[in-house]
Amino acid sequence: MRRKFVAGNWKMNKTISEARQLITELLLTLKSLDGIDRAVCPPSMALPMAARLLEGTGVGLGAQNMYWEESGAYTGELAPNMVAELCGYVLIGHSERRGYFGETDETVNLKVKAALAHGLTPIVCMGESLEENQAGKTAEVISRQVRGGLAGLTPEEGAKLVIAYEPIWAIGTGLAATAEDANAIHCDVVRPALAEIFGEQVAQGIQIQYGGSVKPDNADGFFAQSDIDGALVGGASLKAESFAAIARAAADAS
């Protein structure tokens, strides 16, 4: 049985003091929801503070990105061991990283391998654009992202992954995929692609989150689906009330 996993991707929002305030408020609800996995991914400046605040609470911490090299002359980047000192999770290959910062399936693959080598759980993000969706290319795009991003991983490594399916057209638009459509992608496209690489048994154990305009009023619909194992939440993770409500919906569905 896969546990539900709700994670908040704060993107480029919240100063350290704002992050402290939000986490303090969130803990009032999240701490007790131990039937689900839950995590926040604040900007990297806030990670040391967040790590101290979250210690011993059962609420996980994730970085939004990292580089794959161990150390050296890579101005502006975070090394895997820096992230691993503070976090259990790291988002890899978010569509904003791919779209604005030139990340590809190849760089995603390098980052996933580096994360695993440092004991981090990568949350590997994938999803199709509006044009790809309208051209009927969703399955093709997702299969390519799975094969490219996860190439060369063993089944043991595959078992440590979390996947986030985030159709780009649903991110920040208020136009979420329907729960049924998202579930169909999860069980007919993402999981079979994972099974091709890692085998059916490993694929069945991997948590697949849905992301894209998840809100308190549509969350329970997603969590009622067979293959939607949680959510990666953007905008609605920036307010304690709405993220707590989404986490509660996941706990209620568990």
Q: Which residues of the chain form contacts with ligand 13P (CB under 6 A)? A: 9, 94, 166, 171-172, 211-214, 232-236
Catalytic residue among 94, 96, 103, 118: 94
Is 131 catalytic? The answer is no
Nearer to ligand 13P, 60 or 234 (CB): 234
Shortest Å distance, C-beta 234 to ligand 13P: 2
- Catalytic residue selected from 103, 118, 166, 186: 166
Q: How far is the CB of 154 from ligand 13P (least distance, A)?
A: 27
Q: Residue 94 catalytic?
A: yes
CA distance 198 to 14: 38
Q: Cα separations (Å) of 77 from 13, 167, 195?
A: 18, 27, 33
Burial bucket for residue 24 (CB in 10 Å: 0-12, 13-18, 19+): exposed
Residue pair 54/24 in contact by the 8 Å Cβ criterion: no
Quick check: helix, strand or coil at residue 239? Answer: coil
| Token reading at 66 | 């990292």
Tokens representing 151 are: 């190439």
- Residue placing its CB nearer to ligand 13P in the complex, 190 or 233: 233
C-beta closer to ligand 13P: residue 166 or 229: 166
Closest by alpha carbon to 146, among 102, 89, 97, 206?
206
Q: What is the DSSP letter of 212?
A: S
Q: Which is nearer to ligand 13P, 64 or 198 (CB)?
A: 64
- Least distance CB 176 / ligand 13P (angstroms): 8
Name the minimum Å distance from CB 91 to ligand 13P. Answer: 7
Torsion sign across C-alpha atoms 70, 74, 75, 76: negative
| Cα–Cα distance for residue pair 218/112, rounded to 1 Å | 30
Q: Considering the complex, what minimum distance in angstroms separates the CB of residue 9 from ligand 13P?
A: 4
- Beta carbons within 8 Å of 133's beta carbon, 6+ residues apart: 167, 169
Nearest to 167 by CA among 180, 185, 149, 151: 185
Catalytic residues: 94, 166
